[in-house]
Structure 1
Amino acid sequence: MSKKSLIKLLKIILPLGIGIFLIYYSLSSATAQERATLWENIKLANPWYVLLSLFFGVLSHLSRAYRWKYLLEPMSYQTGLANRFMAVMAAYLANLGIPRSGELLRGALMTTYEEVPFEKAFGTIISERLADFIMLLSLVAIALISQTDLLLQYFAERNINPLYTLIVLVALVAMIFIGFRLIKRAKSGILLRIKNIAAGLVEGMLSILKMKQKWAFIAHTLFIWVMYVAMFWIIKFTIPEIAAAPFSVILAAFIIGSFSISVTNGGIGVYPIAIGALFVFFGFSKEGGEAFGWIIWGSQTLLVVVLGALSFLLLPLLNRNR
């Protein structure tokens, strides 16, 4: 096996292995009573609230697929909602197996089934992610304002600093800008090829500034994140103890979950533990908090697996005449 293949394999196996280890460690370190209580909380969860959470999740995914057209239209690409939705769900499923691969797959599917050049499709996805990152930072600001002292203490005890994410983003933007400046001067060779690809990528990214329906894009962005929070918040009613948690605590848990989900493949292992730790910090039981984490993570992951698998199956069938 070549070094390059080994690195690719490790990128898949290591996050998955960490997640599985954390699940084992979490369950093995708990007492028999704690495990029994955790399982009892999960079994007694009201399925109607879980279904409502899944409904909110589907609405957010549909809205994301619909919003995408506002970024593609300025480049004169008319794409079908069904293809955009299935590309989004297939991308989410890919991220469960190979972290960060979903965005590349989304662009590739648009190229395959809608004839949108990959670099332009990928550029729109970068712009979309930037808008989502701004929304996440806004929620972090709201949570910090409502629970400033407690959240700062929680971050300090666990060496979590959301500011690092912002610093990394700024650094990446600076590196991309410098790279584009260097490539722009290319006249021949591989740099010229990169220059042509980069031009398409920039066109896709700048499509957010050329949208005719900016307010519709903003409305969908707000709706997507309202649905994210709603599908998370409604799960609190499945755990009697957590049902009494104020919205500020639920929002804090949502943010912690959002940051932790990128540590392993789809947040496996990490997500429920991080959610449970935050609820413990706010005075709730570890069993109740982790049960909450397992229910929201398990239900939404199952949704992604089912819709993502169907998308992989249906995309070639529905586009067989292309």
Structure 2
Amino acid sequence: MRADRLVSLVLLLRRHGRLTADTLARELEVSTRTVLRDIEALSVAGVPVYAERGRHGGFSLLPGFRTELTGLNHDEALALLTAGSGRGEQVLGLGSALASAVRKVVDALPESRLATASDAARRFLVDPETDLLSRRPVTDEVPDAVMTEVRRAVLAGHKLRIHYAAAGQAPQWRTVDPIGLVTVRDRGYLLATRAGEDRTYRLSRVVAAEELPEAAQRPNRVDLDRIWRERSARFLADGHITVLVRVNPARREDLLDTAVAVRAEEPDEDGGLRLELTYQDAWHAEWALWQLGTDVEALAPRSLRVALRDRAAAIVARYEDPS
């Protein structure tokens, strides 16, 4: 851990020229005292780092202290820099590791490629914090300690003990055989088996976790994409409701935001869109379609049409002019 931090410290100084101890501490997520100890360790090791006193002082490296990585072309460097701007890594707790890796890549790029790649990366924005309607994305919060234990067990192939709070239930301890980790729309999931049965756990509901020394019962090779598709199909078939709707194309995205899944989509002869959607249950479907008013029409099942009609009739009766 300290060796990685020392490398990151050197790369930060290489990149920015001069930084204060407080700034370095924030970047490295350590205390100022730790930064000062690291600076001293670098000096003892022969790294040419020196302090500048005064109001605008800080720590710097002697010019020319760098290595070059010539194997990356422009598009490869751009891909790495752009990946470092996304938020997906936050779900699996790899944000700090990715930031450190990007610093190393940036520092190793030849000067001729560094300027153009950095400028190009600034023109790409991946997953901003808000969309055009100023809606902030909902990202699952997973404690670092929990994510570290889960990730270690997955990579080491060890059994995992988790304190898991299923929806509407109190947390319970359970021991699982972890298979892999999946992120979907800033939500993280642990794919595992328990007593030989397939299980999918939402990471934000894991209250505590402990990697166990026993080897997990799982195959040596895994196709996470296939496993995820299979489990998604089973999930959608278990207790959900499928509805057929006609929607104004301008409200398509609003409608999709409320659905669990889209099963089919085709243009309608009147210029609208026909979609076959999956919702959690009848109440969920009724609530979702009600939000869009007359921009959407439920075509099937009939019970959903009746529920929406009765709701509309009740609203009309409530606001009817008594006079």
> Smaller-chain TM-score range?
under 0.3
Higher CA-based Rg: 2
- Per the normalisation by structure 2, the TM-score is 0.22
